[in-house]
Amino acid sequence: MNIYTTILLRSLITIFFSLFSVCALAQNPLGFDLDDGAKVVELSFIRESNLIIVPIKINGEGPFNFILDTGSESGMVFDKWVIGENNLVNARTVPVYAADGNKVTDLWVANNLSINFPGVSGVQQSMLVLQENFIDIENVIGVQAHGILGSEIFNRFVVEVDYEQKLLKLYNPKDFKAPRGFRKIPITLENFRPFVKATVKQEKQKTADVKLLIDTGASSALFLDADKHDNIHLPKKTVDHTLGRALVGVIEGKIGRVKRFNLGKFKFKKVTTSFPENWLVSKRGNKELGTDPRHGTVGSEILSRFRVIFDYHEKVIYLKKASGFSESFKFNSAGLNVLAVGEELNSYFVTDIIKDSPAVKAGLEKGDEIIAIDGKPAFFYSLTDINAIFRGPRGRTLVLIVRRDGELTRKELRLKPIL
């Protein structure tokens, strides 16, 4: 798990929860269709940091990389240059404010967009557009990302995600038949987002029944709000760190492990879990809809252990174990985090270091550039590769060449479990 990216994408979207009327304007799910009357379309996606990244074209231009996100009520464009000027003429402007009342930025609502990806076409679509892109998400996930596709896809199609094969299947709902070998789990839909009931068991605590957002846009396994459930508490052993950056500021928190997590009949042990502080999510239920409060999020580090089918029309998901289902939940054994920079996103800089971690003992510092790992130039690695190396086994020693203040230095980094 990349400790820096765990909640970045989700925290970006949460600021729009109070803008439901705007989000409702910024989608037109019925404008999407499978080409040539097809019953199902299959397409490949890019998998980075457990995120589903789909190349799309907007108004015939592209392709642009968009993240397929069940946690987003609406599609959004990070870079305004992706949208033609004609689609921003007389566009509605929506201000975004931080919790302290200070204005953070403005959004446009771009209309009459044509959106296409292999086998799928959307007409007269609308999307939210950042007037200024300062989130630099490509530095966090290691690939270019230009925006988000949200509920407009899941509302229109039955969506199957095969993380291992990096394949998406989009079904026309009337032609979809429930598959064999999958387990069906009921969900609820609130503001176009899917929620599921699950249970969490922590050491010396009663089992907690929780309501969780199912979020393909959250790269980590599990997020819990320790303030909003009597049987959810911070684990005895946790790590302080920055969970991510949002439009409204830095998201701080802790990471620990929960003893057990059950999703339907599927059981997981020792799950790495994020406990954000001052979480930017709605912590109350919706009285008008008769809904319960949300206790957290189940993210893609759990979802990617299945083949998943989202069927909003029947209000269910289908799950089938993938080959990686039983793998242990790993956490960064180095105690550092890096960002990818440069045109090719293959230069890597240390951005965060965990207190009393192997990175501290090795003498690494924030701002160090990683030049080589075990004799291999860093630019040969993807960000996903480097994060996997830093989750390596206890006792492995990495020889790093780092650049600091123009000088090259050799550092020995001995990996050790932090959680």
DSSP character string of 258-300: EEEEEETTEEEEEEEEEEESS--S--S--TTTTPPPP-EEE-H
Q: Which residue, among 99, 257, 265, 134, has the nearest Cα to 197 in the 3D structure?
A: 265
CATH superfamily of 8-173: Acid Proteases (2.40.70.10)
Angstrom CA distances, 181 to 3, 320, 326, stand at: 34, 7, 18
CB 34 within 8 A of CB 40: yes
- CATH number belonging to domain 183-321: 2.40.70.10
Q: And the tokens for 110?
A: 């771009």
Q: And the tokens for 102?
A: 């200070």
- Own/partner contacts of 245-249, CB < 8 Å, gap of 24 or more, are 245/8, 245/11, 245/135, 246/8, 246/11, 246/12, 246/14, 246/15, 246/280, 247/12, 247/15, 247/96, 247/104, 247/105, 247/135, 248/15, 248/96, 248/98, 248/99, 248/104, 248/280, 249/98
Q: And the tokens for 59?
A: 């108004």
Q: Which residues of 259-273 are buried (b: 16+ CB within 10 A; e: fewer)?
A: bebebeebebeebbb
Contacts of 75 (CB under 8 A, 6+ apart): 26, 27, 66, 125, 126, 127, 128, 147, 148, 149, 150, 152
Task: Return per-residue pLDDT of the chain as tens, 419 residues.
Answer: 443 343 344 444 433 333 334 444 445 555 899 999 999 999 999 999 899 999 999 999 999 999 999 998 888 998 888 887 777 878 888 887 765 677 777 889 998 899 999 999 999 898 999 887 766 788 888 899 999 999 999 999 999 999 999 999 999 999 999 889 999 999 999 999 999 999 999 988 899 999 999 999 988 899 998 887 888 889 999 998 776 656 555 678 899 999 999 999 999 999 999 998 866 554 444 444 456 788 999 999 999 999 999 999 999 999 999 999 999 999 999 999 899 999 899 999 999 899 999 999 999 999 999 999 999 999 999 999 999 999 999 899 999 999 999 999 999 999 999 98
The answer to whether the 8-173 and 336-414 domains have the same CATH topology is: no
- Domain edges within the chain: 8-173, 183-321, 336-414
Helix (H) or strand (E) holding 23: helix 20-25
Report the distance separating Cα 308 and Cα 163, nearest Å: 9
CATH topology for 336-414 is Pdz3 Domain (2.30.42)
Residue type, 206: K
